Structure 1
Amino acid sequence: MHISSLVVVVLSLLTGAMASPGDDLWATIDCKYQCEQISCENNRHYYRIHPDRYYNPSWRFTEGPLPKYLEWLAWDCYSNCDYQCQRIITEERRNNHEEIYQFHGKWPFVRVAGIQEVTSVIFSLGNLVVHGLGLKKIWHKWNSIPNGPAHDRLKSQYINLILMTLVSMGAWIFSTIFHIRDLDITEKLDYYCAGLTVLMGFHTLGARFGELYLESNANYRYAFSAICAVSYAGHIARLVIDWSYTYNMRANIFIGILQNICLVGICYYIYSHYYYLEQDNKSTQNHLKYIDFRAIILPSFFSRSPKLYSLYPLMLGIIVILGMSLEIFDFPPIFYDLVDAHSLWHLVTIFPAYFGWYDWMLWDIHENVWPHIQQVELLNVKKNE
């Protein structure tokens, strides 16, 4: 499983810009109207013309042109009024010991230098960095592979892994942009790239599970890739024509389930292989040279044998599942209204990618896939003699 793909499934399930209780408060509506009239329309005496509107002289709003850094992040007077009123109403409710509400599907965070969700931005960048480090490892191994027909089969698995990692990095870039500034275009790009991450994870693991790296399965490999590409094009077309959070959620969950089935199948196959090798006293410790003992969870257990190491991705998946509770048991922002459950969820997703996911994939490719390719090639040679 590509860990960030499960992340996307959860985010698709639990996020979406829908109406929130804070949007419907009369105080919010009147506050925004007052701010817009005073700050944007320069109409300081609007309440004399519109006596039906609630006027609160204690509300204070930013006046004058917005700072350049806000304009650069696409803030204007009206969106700035929206932000200011979220903060004003939230503080009023907090002082009155009332429940804190969301606005536009988000908690009322404190804006930092124009950034709407600064901790989610930081942790999204953290995810980008760890996947970048993973790509560096993959690229180093890729460049060490010699040329040759059999090695070309091996490279096909590397191509899948490289593309999957690049797409994941793209997803975290767009996640960062989206959390910097929530706009219609940034939201859609975030969702489009997130959906592609799910599909690329399924494509990589599906190809591995189906042994499509073998030459005898070349036609299936091309067909599988074509089906995935057409499916994604259709998915995007569906969202462009009729944007639906429900459809997007269901599509991601469906592909995510298929992806996890492939992962479990791969781990079961590898575990069984080393189990029987152990029974015949033929097992080796080929996994140790791929493990970074500074970045592995429960090293005394998973480094004990390749049979146990084959289950390591399931351990990483457990971490992701535990992290889901942060989203399920959501709570208003803490630490000066900067940190919420969603940002902590982004923090949790850093750990699986850092703690050995890419090391495990390299081990699988070189110690499981490559010997299988060599074995099949040798059988083909003997068959043709």
Structure 2
Amino acid sequence: MRLFSRAAYVASVALVSLALLLGPANASRGDRLPDFKDCVKKCHSTHCLSDPPTPIPLHLRLLLWSCPSECDYTCQHAVTASRYDAGQPIEQFHGKWPFVRLLGIQEPFSVLFSILNGYAHYRGQQTIRRELPRNYPLVPYYRLFGLFGIVTWFWSTVFHMRDFVFTERMDYFAAGASVLYGLYLAPVRVFRLYKPHHRRLLRVWTCVCVAAYVAHVYYLSFIKWDYGYNMAANVVVGILQNSLWTYFSIKNFSQKKSLWAAGPGLIVTWLVMAMSLELLDFPPLWGCIDAHSLWHAATVMPAVWWYKYLIVDAKRHMGGAVVGGSRFKE
């Protein structure tokens, strides 16, 4: 675990450094609309180049809204309202729908659900500390899983509060790390790689996962920032870990004939159904709830359920030979 912890720390530092070097995101169709361009140009000339410039409220300045970004936001909604009245389709701007902000927060519901997801991981970590003995061999892996989850949802919260190049990259890289750690954890539990006689295999698996993540970040940072590739990579990693947990669930359920044993498979099913929301992309209802925010809402309960499963699984696991003062069933 020390090897993985050091590698994760180095990767995190590199991640922040790389994200700072990245360029702007690609434009959307809405950005190219003549009405939008004219609106932004006139607004900038009237409010930003005037002497003095139009003042920005404090609560907006705290979230780094400036006069140009205010013009951008105002024009997005002016053009969207005009197109809606004319019966024309709503377009995205800068890769996002024109959300109605709240106190300067760009996507209020995605922020809310990201916070709830992070809180689910935080409470799950508290439960693991309270319910499981420190010498239980999987505790370090579960705590790292929670740490990745908290960091991922922190950056998701920040990104949905204010969409900058830096916050977008951190959101993507943190999510990628979390998904990859999920794949890393699956064989550790399913094939019991935490056992001493698997130490060499565990080191190899650790190095493979760290190398894969570093290569992933390097490609996106220095070769090509490719949204399609990033999505495909996460889907492939997700399918691999979901397949392992499904196999583990079927095997355990067939042996134990107990519903708790099928927990990982049921959670995987829930998450796959939740991810289908991403395929139903639609303009935000009431200007604030879209498919992406609903996807974030749908992942809260699986996180809560997952930690409950880990506790039950560990307690049933601790029923055989005495190891360091606790009983473990292998």
Instruction: Report TM bin, short chain.
Output: 0.7 to 0.9
Determine the structure 2 residue equivalent to 1:234.
Answer: 215
Which deviations, in whole Å up to 9, do the C-alpha atoms of 1:60-102 show, x marking residues without a partner? xxx6121222222222111111111001001111222221111
Kept after mapping to 1: 8 A contact 2:114/2:154 = yes
Kept after mapping to 1: 8 A contact 2:115/2:153 = yes
AA at the equivalent of 2:212: S
What is the CA RMSD across the aligned residues, in angstroms?
2.1
Kept after mapping to 2: 8 A contact 1:170/1:193 = yes
In structure 2, stretches of 5+ residues that fail to align are: 1-23, 324-330
Classify 1:360/1:120 alpha carbon distance in 2 versus 1 (closer, same or farther; 3 Å): same
Residue of 342, 351, 359 corresponding to 2:308? 359
Kept after mapping to 1: 8 A contact 2:25/2:165 = no
Determine the structure 2 residue equivalent to 1:171.
Answer: 152
Instruction: State the TM-score, normalizing by the size of structure 2.
Output: 0.84
How many residue pairs are counted as aligned between the two chains? 298
Could you say which structure has the greater relative contact order, defined with CA pairs below 8 angstroms and 6 or more residues apart?
1
Residue of 134, 140, 162 corresponding to 2:143? 162
In the aligned structure 1, how far is the partner of 2:321 from the partner of 2:165?
Answer: 47
Determine the structure 2 residue equivalent to 1:109.
Answer: 99
Q: CA deviation at 1:32?
A: 0.8
Classify 1:373/1:107 alpha carbon distance in 2 versus 1 (closer, same or farther; 3 Å): farther
Which deviations, in whole Å up to 9, do the C-alpha atoms of 1:97-138 show, x marking residues without a partner? 221111111111112111110111011111111111111111
Residue of 21, 35, 44 corresponding to 1:36? 44
- 1:264 aligned to 2:215? no
- 1:342 aligned to 2:324? no
* SS of 1:102 mapped into structure 2: coil
Percent of aligned pairs with the same amino acid: 36
Determine the structure 2 residue equivalent to 1:252.
Answer: 234
Which deviations, in whole Å up to 9, do the C-alpha atoms of 1:263-289 show, x marking residues without a partner? 1221123123325xxxxxxxxxxxxxx
Determine the structure 2 residue equivalent to 1:297.
Answer: none
In the aligned structure 2, how far is the partner of 1:118 from the partner of 1:267?
Answer: 36
Q: CA deviation at 1:372?
A: 7.2
AA at the equivalent of 1:258: L
In the aligned structure 2, how far is the partner of 1:324 from the partner of 1:269?
Answer: 25
In structure 1, stretches of 5+ residues that fail to align are: 1-15, 44-62, 146-150, 276-305, 376-385
Determine the structure 2 residue equivalent to 1:311.
Answer: 262
Based on CA coordinates, which of the two structures has the bigger radius of gyration?
1
In the aligned structure 2, how far is the partner of 1:252 from the partner of 1:178?
Answer: 19
- 1:91 aligned to 2:41? no
Kept after mapping to 2: 8 A contact 1:127/1:172 = yes
Residue of 146, 157, 178 corresponding to 1:197? 178
Q: CA deviation at 1:349?
A: 1.0
Kept after mapping to 2: 8 A contact 1:214/1:373 = no
AA at the equivalent of 1:358: Y
Kept after mapping to 2: 8 A contact 1:28/1:85 = yes
AA at the equivalent of 1:342: H
